[in-house]
Amino acid sequence: MEFIDEYRDAGAAHRYADAIRRLVRRSWTLMEICGGQTHAILRHGLTELLPLSLNLVHGPGCPVCVTPAELIDKAVLLARRPEVILCSFGDMLRVPGSHFDLLSVKASGGDVRIVYSPLDALRIAQNHPDKEVVFFAIGFETTAPANAMAVLQAERLSLKNFSLLVSHVLVPPAMEAILGSPTNQVQGFLAAGHVCAVMGFAEYEPVAARYHVPIVITGFEPVDILQGIYLCLKQLEEGLCQVQNAYPRFVRREGNLSARQAMRQVFEVIDRKWRGIGTIPHSGLGLNERYAMFDADRRFKVDHITVDEPPECISGWVLQGLKKPVDCPAFGSRCTPEHPLGATMVSSEGACAAYFRYRHRSSPGSNPGS
């Protein structure tokens, strides 16, 4: 299959791995931003091909993982209301809040529905004019355009019973928060190709220059990832700090202009709390005043809810690249996909879930990046 098979070619992967081993003269720590890249690295056993001097750490690029517990609590509260149909992507149903998750609300009779698009929630609102339909709008820049279009469509249809519970976050401010921390260990980034397909990569250039780190826009197949690692290490070994696009089959510098325009029309940049990390200034999107009537926070007056994160879960450390999932005392015992302490064990993009599922392919003791 074009654009799939050639990027899973074992020969090409081994050639990149050989080139990486020849290139590296020092120890380096790279962070892959996206949880999809983390899963691909572990699923395909890529760390077994890499030198021991290379440490791969896992970033905050899993939208489910960074949604704070207070947003889950808000969703739980709304889903319990008899007049509300709460629509969500399936990953969110088992993410623990401070006391409950959405799956337990659904099991106890709440009208919680799994959808695959915000447009599915729009249709539900059209078909149930006697109900309030709330879509749990999470995600990075990749899902924001579709949610913006849903709001614009709701406005065109004059839907009065549709709203979004918004938990959108932005990648560059999170990178800056990591790089600006006194505990930072990251020396280079593999940036998420799908985010850049929407936003382009011009906004990464000031980050690379300010913190003197290379940033390589990287895809999600094994050869993509190994190429991204090679290019990032090559810059580090040569003392460079540039933004490189290693995903040109999908990414352009300017991104998707139509998608960005829809986002600008509907959303505004706000401060956003990240699960396990805390509030990062200017790191989120919220509905602007023109579209405030579609904001579930304001419509149902739940914007005052704040809760502390579970203290036992170290997902915040994992998401900042300071610890690995296997460093957690609860990993695989008190915390499993069936009984998770935190979102990183639930999500299909979560680092803890990846380690739990694929650890037999990459022994944690065999390589610092495994």
Q: What is the pLDDT of residue 321?
A: 93
Q: What is the mean pLDDT of residues 81-89?
A: 97
- pLDDT above 90 covers a percentage of the chain that reads 84
Domain 65-169+255-299 in CATH 2.30.29.30: no
More confident residue, 339 or 362: 339
* Range 23-42 burial, b when 16+ CB lie within 10 A, else e: ebeeebbbbbbbbbbbbbbb
Number of Cβ within a 10 Å radius of residue 363: 12
Confidence bin at 370 (pLDDT 50/70/90): very low
Q: pLDDT, tens digit, for every residue of 139-193?
A: 999 999 999 999 999 999 999 999 999 999 999 999 999 999 999 999 999 999 9
Q: What is the pLDDT of residue 3?
A: 61
The domain 5-63+171-245 is placed in CATH, from the list 3.40.50.620, 3.30.160.20, 1.10.3720.10, 3.40.50.11750, at 3.40.50.11750
Checking if the pLDDT of 363 tops 70, the result is no
Q: What is the pLDDT of residue 2?
A: 59
- Find out whether 67 and 61 touch, Cβ atoms under 8 Å: no
Confidence bin at 304 (pLDDT 50/70/90): confident
Q: Give a three-class secondary structure readout of 202-257.
A: HHHHHHHHHHCCCEEEECCCHHHHHHHHHHHHHHHHHCCCCEEECCCCCCCCCCCH
Q: Where in the chain is the domain with CATH 3.40.50.11750?
A: 5-63+171-245
Checking if the pLDDT of 340 tops 70, the result is yes
Q: What is the mean pLDDT of residues 112-125?
A: 97
Q: What is the mean pLDDT of residues 213-220?
A: 97
Look at the chain and count its residues: 370
Q: What is the mean pLDDT of residues 2-30?
A: 90
Q: pLDDT, tens digit, for every residue of 236-257?
A: 999 999 999 999 999 999 999 9
Task: Report the first-to-last Cα separation within the chain, whole angstroms.
Answer: 29
Q: Where in the chain is the domain with CATH 3.40.50.11740?
A: 65-169+255-299
**Beta strand ranges found along the chain (DSSP E):** 28-34, 54-61, 84-88, 112-114, 132-139, 162-169, 188-192, 215-218, 243-245, 267-274, 278-287
Confidence bin at 369 (pLDDT 50/70/90): very low
Residues linked to residue 189 through DSSP beta bridges, in sequence order: 31, 215
Q: What is the pLDDT of residue 310?
A: 73
Average pLDDT of the residues of the chain = 93
Selection from 236, 170, 243, 169 nearest residue 207 by Cα:
243
Selection from 61, 118, 62 nearest residue 88 by Cα:
118
In terms of C-beta density within 10 A (0-12 exposed, 13-18 middle, 19 or more buried), how is residue 328 classed? Answer: buried
Q: pLDDT, tens digit, for every residue of 271-283?
A: 999 988 899 999 9
User: What is the C-alpha to C-alpha distance for residues 69 and 60, in angstroms, rounded to an integer?
Assistant: 15
Selection from 292, 356, 287 nearest residue 144 by Cα:
287
Q: What is the pLDDT of residue 367?
A: 38
Confidence bin at 307 (pLDDT 50/70/90): confident
Three-state DSSP state, 209: helix
